Structure 1
Amino acid sequence: MSVLESRRSGLGDSTTGPVRSKLTPGVRLAIVAVLTAVAVACYLLLFIRGSFDFAFPRRLTVLGAMIVAAFAHGMGTVVFHTVTDNRILTPSIIGFDSLYTLMQTLTVFFFGATAIASTEGIPKLIAQTTLMVLLATLLYRWLFSGRFGSLFLMLLVGVVLGMAFDSLSTFVQRMLSPTEYDMLSVELFGRLSSVDSDYLPLAFGVCLVVGVILWRRRYRLDALLLGRETSTNIGIEYKRELTLMLVLIALLVAFATALAGPMTFFGFLVATLAYQITGTYKHQYVMPMAFLLGVFTLAAGQFVMQHLFYAGGFLTVIIEFVGGILFLFMLLRKGTL
């Protein structure tokens, strides 16, 4: 059985798979788009207490952060699954979250807790993103240019680096004062509700550019599912496409992490749901579905947590918890990475 056939048997196409429905992927995508629009409208317009002119712009800013996070993590994870030929791994395996945690921890350790607030701004956002992308690019170039370079070696090195960054961060955090550690902890969790609106134009610009590139290469991504030898035989420059996709993933995940904090399992959650709901392997449906499900999850989740449980700040914690359980379930079901 070929890779493409195995993926069809696992995911289903327009007629077979886990989603037993006569609905085509396009119809399913349209239904999710409508549900997402309803969730967004509810979040923006319902239960506004006090001044509408004050509350609406603030909610609009949070929605903008949700859109960026959903796009970066959702589409980034789908493309990462494609190039690694593995739907258990996530982009965080490269160590972006760990690198971000280490950067924030060292900033507090050397310059104090007030350094985080005093250095906030677009230059810091660009600097953090550039450093993460530079590290990933150097890693890719080094591992793919060698005689024994391979994707699996890159993943192994990414895991080792992530563990090293985590260990160093934990060691340094133990030397911080309780006040400094509390202020640091705020930066180490997803913080959609505290994103500065000045960041959003730049974030939307990055997402738009990357989105156009990925959409123009959606058929090449379909071809990459066939494996290295087959995709090369049909005219795909495998190494170049693989490196480009990994750099774009690095840009998306690094930018979203620097903007809204680490969200390790969010992308895995929405990507897994996108595969099941679309019932097809085609990226022209899977990528938009992952994005829409990401926006729906964040908007509907924030609406429910904020107005029913009065705990809007815990949304990312709940998402990470659910995503972690799904990750363990998928891992135990498959029995291997």
Structure 2
Amino acid sequence: MAERRLWILGTALLGAAALFLAWNLRAPVEFILGLRVTKLAALVVVGAATGAATVLFQTVAGNRLITPGIVGFDALFVFLQTMLVLALGGLGYASLPGMEKFLLEAACLVISAVALFGVLLRKGAGDVIRMILTGVVLGVLLRGLAGFAQRILEPSEFAIVQQSSFASFGAVARQELAVAGVLLLAALAGAMRLAPSLDVAALGRTKARTLGLDYDRLVLVTLSLVAAMIAVSTALVGPVTFLGLLAASLAYGWLGTPRHALLIPAASAIGALILVAGQFVFERLLDYQSTLAVIVEFAGGLLFLFLVLRRPRP
């Protein structure tokens, strides 16, 4: 049954992608189709990376109410944008080569996340909650520093920071997208290889170690994959904090199985489907250009509150 539902998700994603590409396609067909293919690929990459990373993160954290963004990825990204504009000015920032900027941001995000995970979990992976709380505090600190720096920017420079701090799928370079796609495929392949071990890890640290699983090593490897996927997607289009929570929650509810070999591709497909279908509705049907990220964050925030409020008290 779960396998059949996974195939249904794949079919729905293919249908949404075909509709996104073919709807109201007019001359010049090749030019317009090329733009749509690039945007579609960006939507799929970001949605798949965010959905899969959230499932992995929730498993090692033992909590389905959190997302990787809670440890400060979005705050670090905004801080990097602010510091670049502050150091280079608006013109210097705009003249940065796209590929070099993408690689720099992705590398900073990955290195910061791996350093956070490695330092806080060096004595073992049993204190993931301490790592999450530290990430939350660092995120608040980075937001405060970014807010302070933004106050001394010129209005035009502040507008550049604001524009680059929100997710945008309209201006993704193909070279950056190709690199992000390759890295995502590698990370997803690694996650799928870990799927049987993640099924055991979901039982809890004590039970997993009793069954012979090297739990600490698995957590560090899994968090490294999470860092890579979230860093690449964030550097590509910007932060989308609650998309992963939507995708992971829907994947658990739709499949009704704890098997990560099915949950990981399902969350990836649902994350991509949310973005592709949402972009199609707002861009093709409603003729809006920049509301998708806001709507996804709003819906994800409502889902988070719903999950928190309906959770039974201990």
Per the TM superposition, whether the score is higher than 0.5 is yes
Q: Distance in 1 between matches of 2:286 and 2:100?
A: 36
The Cα RMSD (Å) is 1.7
Counterpart residue number, 1:168 = 145
Q: Distance in 1 between matches of 2:226 and 2:93?
A: 26
Q: Is residue 308 from structure 1 mapped to residue 285 from structure 2 by the alignment?
A: yes
Q: Distance in 2 between matches of 1:65 and 1:254?
A: 14
Q: Distance in 1 between matches of 2:151 and 2:11?
A: 48
Counterpart residue number, 2:30 = 53
Q: How does 1:238-249 map to 2 (within 5 A)?
A: 238-249=215-226
Q: Is residue 28 from structure 1 mapped to residue 29 from structure 2 by the alignment?
A: no
Counterpart residue number, 2:62 = 85
Counterpart residue number, 2:82 = 105
Q: Is residue 70 from structure 1 mapped to residue 70 from structure 2 by the alignment?
A: no
- Evaluate the alpha carbon distance shift between residue 105 and residue 31 of structure 1 in structure 2; reply closer, same or farther with a 3 A threshold: same
Q: Distance in 1 between matches of 2:115 and 2:209?
A: 24
Q: State whether residues 143 and 149 of structure 1, in contact with CA within 8 Å, keep that contact through their aligned partners in structure 2.
A: no
1:50-79 CA distance string (max 9 Å, x none): 311110010000111112101210000000
Residue aligned with 2:264, SS: helix
Counterpart residue number, 1:331 = 308
Deviation at 1:227, TM superposition (A): 0.7
Counterpart residue number, 2:248 = 271
Counterpart residue number, 2:237 = 260
Q: State whether residues 74 and 234 of structure 2, in contact with CA within 8 Å, keep that contact through their aligned partners in structure 1.
A: yes
Counterpart residue number, 1:210 = 187
Q: Distance in 2 between matches of 1:110 and 1:336?
A: 49
Question: TM-score scaled to structure 1, two decimals?
Answer: 0.90
Unpaired runs of 5+ residues, structure 1, are 1-23
Deviation at 1:234, TM superposition (A): 1.4
State the number of aligned residues: 314
Deviation at 1:177, TM superposition (A): 2.1
2:172 to 183, 189, 195: 195
1:70-118 CA distance string (max 9 Å, x none): 1210000000000000011110111111001000011112221223321
- Give the aligned residue type for 1:291: S
Residue aligned with 2:63, SS: coil
1:156-198 CA distance string (max 9 Å, x none): 1111100000111111112222211112111111111211111
Residue aligned with 1:194, SS: coil
1:264-319 CA distance string (max 9 Å, x none): 11111111111110111111111111111112111111111112211032111111
- Give the aligned residue type for 2:155: P
Q: Distance in 2 between matches of 1:120 and 1:270?
A: 33
- Evaluate the alpha carbon distance shift between residue 336 and residue 328 of structure 1 in structure 2; reply closer, same or farther with a 3 A threshold: farther
Q: Distance in 1 between matches of 2:197 and 2:123?
A: 25
Q: Is residue 119 from structure 1 mapped to residue 89 from structure 2 by the alignment?
A: no
Question: TM-score scaled to structure 2, two decimals?
Answer: 0.96
- Evaluate the alpha carbon distance shift between residue 147 and residue 234 of structure 1 in structure 2; reply closer, same or farther with a 3 A threshold: closer
- Give the aligned residue type for 1:46: W
Deviation at 1:146, TM superposition (A): 4.0
Q: Distance in 1 between matches of 2:283 and 2:227?
A: 32
- The percentage of aligned residue pairs carrying the same residue is 36
- Evaluate the alpha carbon distance shift between residue 110 and residue 25 of structure 1 in structure 2; reply closer, same or farther with a 3 A threshold: same
Comparing 38-47 and 133-142, the one that deviates more? 133-142
Counterpart residue number, 1:297 = 274
Unpaired runs of 5+ residues, structure 2, are none
Which 4+ runs in 1 deviate beyond 6 A?
Answer: none
